[in-house]
Chain A
Amino acid sequence: MRQLWLSAAILVANVQPVLSERLVLSLSNERVQIASNFVGENLVLFGVVEPDPGKTLRDDYDLVVTVAGPREIMRTRRKQRVLGIWVNVGSREFVRVPSYLAVLSSRPVAQIANADTLRRLQLGLDNFLLTQRIGSDLGDTVREDPFRAAFVRLQSEHGLYRQAGDAVKFLTPSVFRVVIPLPANVPTGPFSVDVELFAGGAMIAQSTAALEVIKTGVEQYVADAAGNNGLLYGLLTTLMALLTGWIASVVFRRD
């Protein structure tokens, strides 16, 4: 029945999107600054569901908010016992995967839409595309794959990957609020926020927002120098070491 309604809507609207609702989003902070006292921050995303003029609000909205941090290359290693000691034997490279990934929804994603829809829209940690280098190929594996499962688990233990089925709260039937937790070790760079509105198991509206995490002050300088200008950083660090050593030898001089 739902499928029928959808196809009918497509026919009527022709190439126009079928979306009859609009999402209006507002982030509490679009530029998160990390200084030396940064212990993590909770961002708040507010949103309003606006129905088309002449239409009324439905009462079965569901929302899925996916926040993805800057992409990076990671490697997951697995230890095995070799001659009595534990050695990294196997490894799998994860290519262009988000350094931070939060899937926040109004209900557990599995209850919001069917498995096919979730997979197609990459909603949920199990369905998000985590590209891996397998032999000469790039591709994602099933969620039960030991390396994929370990990767998601370890990232979750570091607070970098998370999924919460009760994070999106509707304040009124059309106004919602979601807290995006950024941990102390949050990576810096551009973050994307994708919001999908569901009703009756189908996606009916989509919107995106963006935010940026930047380091400020001394942290910025030290991190930049260490990453971009390693030689200079090394020389300055050595100079600092020599200075400390010299001060010590003068202060504690015993003659």
Chain B
Amino acid sequence: MPVNVFLVLGMGLAVGFISGMFGIGGGFLMTPLLIFIGVSPAVAVASVSTHIAASSFSGALNYWRRGAIDVALALMLLSAGIIGTATGVWLFTTLRALDQLDLMIGLSYVTLLTLVGAFMIYESVLAELRARKGMPATLRRPGSHNWVHGLPLKLRFKRSKIYVSAIPVWGIGFIIGFAGAMMGIGGGFLLVPMLIYFLRVPTATVIGTSMVLTLVTMASATVMHAATNHLVDAILALILMVGGVVGAQFGARTGQKMRGERLRLLLGILVFMVGMRFAFELVVKPDDLFSIRHVSNL
């Protein structure tokens, strides 16, 4: 499909900048942008997986050098993550054969992004208000336990100094692997809050460990999408990667100068707006009610 190389490179740079600023993978922005410029949703999802594999590998290496990865926890997440990815690719293939893939990608984005975006905006506005009143900006609940800690099959993760059930670990791994394969997102913006909130993984290891999960699920999603649907566009992915890694370096420097709550509010607004854009696409009458899908050559 003819797409302007410089436009894609520019988008890679812009998304890379944002991802470096917020410390996220940026798949939830990159995939929608590609769809909005006319890349078919299926190809966008598959190729962005490759792009995220590259950026999370680069990040994971940096965290590995600093010893900020909990290998045992990462392996536990991965064991379920790969199953989630395989399930996601299977559902992706099935929906494509039923001509409902684009719709489901759109609906998933609307649901996930508007909910997560609204929650982030709400949280950061509350934090901002608390800061105005001179209270600590973030609520800390040390030692507080929730229902997650009552589950059986408990395991000890020494590096993160946590003692949790394997069930939520597998659950989180599965959800991230599944969403990644279906939607072309690394899931960092979901995974990090989940690990902190449900498993109480400390800040020292949370980002590094989540990057390992993202790396492996996105790499396996690339292989699976290429093997089953033949949808990965290596050239597109390469252009995205080059833009993405360069942009991320500049974004990271900008991000360090900003306050955490302010950053979360901006990210929340961004996430929410992308979700609304998808909702708009679904509701507005398309220019052409008909479309063609290539099934196979003879």
Q: Taking beta carbons and an 8 Å cutoff, which residues of A are in contact with B?
A: 70-81, 84-88, 91, 93, 96, 99, 146-147, 150-151, 153-155, 184-185, 189, 222, 226-227, 230-231, 233-238, 240-242, 244-246, 248-249, 252-253, 255
Contact = CB atoms under 8 A, between A and B. Distances in A.
A136 B235 CA distance: 40
Given A96-B298, A240-B238, A76 B290 contact: yes
A245 B58 contact: yes
30 contacts: A74-B295, A76-B292, A77-B290, A78-B289, A78-B290, A79-B289, A85-B283, A86-B286, A86-B289, A88-B99, A88-B103, A93-B295, A150-B290, A151-B290, A154-B288, A222-B234, A226-B232, A226-B234, A230-B230, A234-B223, A240-B238, A242-B54, A245-B55, A245-B59, A245-B61, A245-B245, A248-B54, A248-B58, A249-B58, A249-B59
Contacts of A238: 50, 53, 219, 222-223
B53 A245 contact: yes
A115 B39 CA distance: 41
B294 interface: yes
Contacts of B241: 241, 244-245
A27 B223 CA distance: 42
B295 A237 contact: no
Interface in B236-281: 237-238, 241-242, 245, 248-249
Contact of B232 (A70, A76, A233): A233
B146 interface: no
B-side interface mostly: helix
B174 to A, nearest CB: 21
A75 B290 CA distance: 10
A242 B295 contact: no
Nearest to B238: A240
Given A88-B103, A189-B297, A234-B223, 5 more contacts: A80-B289, A88-B99, A234-B222, A242-B54, A244-B241
Q: Which 4 A-B pairs have the closest CB atoms?
A: A234-B226, A245-B57, A150-B290, A234-B223
